[in-house]
Amino acid sequence: MSITAPRTLVVASDLSPETRRLLSYALEHHHAPHARLVLVHVVAVAEHVWAALSRAYAADDVKEKLFTMADDLLRDLSATHAAESPMGIEVQVHWGDPAEVLLDVARSEGAELIVMGRHAPSSVRTFVLGGVTDKVLRRATCPVAVLPMGRPT
């Protein structure tokens, strides 16, 4: 069995400074020539927070601002990295459950590798039920590269 370099990679972004490291890792380590990279952020707002925001502001305006902010940040980041690699970088911003959306994007894009970070569990609930990374690891149909967040690669 031979392992081939992936032609399509999905990199998950939480818009933290660590996204730069995940993107660099994907560009430097795991891809075939002329591969494409899909940089994905999922806007996820807790229901109680969304309820409060949509009472105070026009819901469509808030959603549009969140999408625009995420899209602008990821496009700036991808433009910075474009000079480092011939790989095409596509930016996608979605709304929903991060694990579900990442898995859907990976399937629809034909991803052969997902690159994402892993934070330490911040609550008992996350420790017991698992965070986004745990959910993706359990259900992904392609390999997943997980980098510990906050540590050098």
User: What residues form DSSP beta bridges with 40?
Assistant: 12, 92
pLDDT bucket at 127, cuts 50 / 70 / 90: very low
Mean pLDDT value across residues 101-122: 88
| Cα–Cα dist 52/32, whole Å | 46
Is the pTM here over 0.75, yes or no? yes
Tens digit of pLDDT for each residue in 61-104?
Answer: 888 888 899 999 999 988 887 776 767 789 999 999 999 999 99
Predicted pLDDT of residue 64? 86
pLDDT bucket at 1, cuts 50 / 70 / 90: very low
Q: Is the pLDDT at 128 greater than 60, yes or no?
A: no
User: What residues form DSSP beta bridges with 144?
Assistant: 114
Tens digit of pLDDT for each residue in 28-44?
Answer: 876 677 788 999 999 88
| Cα–Cα dist 108/86, whole Å | 23
* Domain at 8-148, CATH class: alpha beta
Contact 42, 14 (CB under 8 A): no
Contact 136, 103 (CB under 8 A): yes
pLDDT bucket at 151, cuts 50 / 70 / 90: low
Q: Which of 29, 114, 36, 112 lies closest to 78, judged by CA?
A: 36
pLDDT bucket at 123, cuts 50 / 70 / 90: very low
Kindly list the domain boundaries of the chain, sorted by start residue: 8-148
The sign of the torsion formed by the CA atoms of 11, 15, 16, 21 equals: positive
Strand extents, DSSP E, 3-148: 8-13, 36-43, 88-95, 113-118, 144-148
3-state secondary structure of 2: coil
Containing 76, the helix (H) or strand (E) segment is helix 59-82
From 21-35, 68-82, 105-119, 135-149, the region with the lowest mean pLDDT: 21-35
Predicted pLDDT of residue 153? 47
